Structures are given as structure tokens and as C-alpha cells.
């Protein structure tokens, strides 16, 4: 493994961690927003093949879990609309 490969691995790890911190910050900033769905981060190792000079690294991906029905809230506007997705068709 070369110095450049080691630095590339470190930079990809830092980038993945910054994506995770960004998701955490978004979740905190929008925690009181109506109908906001929280995001989570998953990580994957990038493993180099044998005989390769690459050192691998880490990647991250953002996942949104939108499976829960939120509470319906009454408003004073006549044009507001809500869809209740909890009852069967």
C-alpha cells in the first residue's frame, strides 16, 4: 500500500463520517417539523482485490425510513389537506 492509497482511504473515511454527521444535524434541526422523516446512515467497506495497489476505503449512504404514520394535526386553514395512511383500504 502506498502513501497515496493510505491517504485516499483516510479521506474516504472522513467523508463518510461527515455524511453521517450531516444526517444527524438534519435530524436535530428538523425534529419539530411536521411530517419530517428521520434519515439514518449506513456504511460499507470498499475492499481492494488481492494484488491491487489500492487500499480500499469506506462509503456511506443515507436511508430514509418512511413507514410510520404520523399524527394528524388540525389547522385553521380551510385549504389544508391530510391523508390518513393508517387505515386499510
Q: What is the pLDDT of residues 5-27, one digit of tens each?
A: 778 888 888 888 998 899 899 88
75 in a domain, yes or no?
Answer: no
State percent of the chain over pLDDT 90: 7
How many independent structural domains does the chain possess? 1
Query: For residue 52, what pLDDT is reported?
Result: 60
Q: Answer whether residue 27 is part of any domain.
A: yes
For the cut 70, the answer to whether the pLDDT of residue 87 exceeds it is no
Residue 26 belongs to a domain: yes
The mean of the pLDDT values for the chain is: 79
Residue 71, in any domain of the structure? no
Could you list the residue range(s) of the whole structural domain that residue 21 is in?
Answer: 3-64
Question: Would you tell me how many other CB atoms lie within 10 Å of the CB of residue 16?
Answer: 19
**What's the pLDDT tens digit per position in 30-45?**
888 777 778 888 888 8
Quick one: pLDDT band at residue 79, thresholds 50, 70, 90?
very high
Q: What is the pLDDT of residue 38?
A: 81
Cα distances (angstroms) measured from residue 59 to each of 1, 20, 46, 68, 86: 19, 11, 7, 28, 35
Kindly report whether the global pTM for this prediction surpasses the value 0.75.
no
Amino acid at each position: 500500500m502506498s502513501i497515496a492509497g493510505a491517504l485516499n482511504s483516510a479521506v474516504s473515511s472522513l467523508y463518510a463520517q461527515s455524511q453521517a454527521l450531516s444526517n444527524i444535524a438534519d435530524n436535530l434541526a428538523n425534529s419539530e417539523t411536521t411530517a419530517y422523516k428521520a434519515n439514518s446512515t449506513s456504511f460499507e467497506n470498499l475492499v481492494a482485490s488481492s494484488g491491487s495497489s489500492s487500499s480500499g476505503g469506506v462509503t456511506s449512504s443515507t436511508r430514509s425510513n418512511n413507514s410510520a404514520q404520523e399524527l394528524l394535526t388540525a389547522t385553521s386553514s380551510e385549504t389544508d389537506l391530510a391523508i390518513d395512511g393508517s387505515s386499510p383500504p
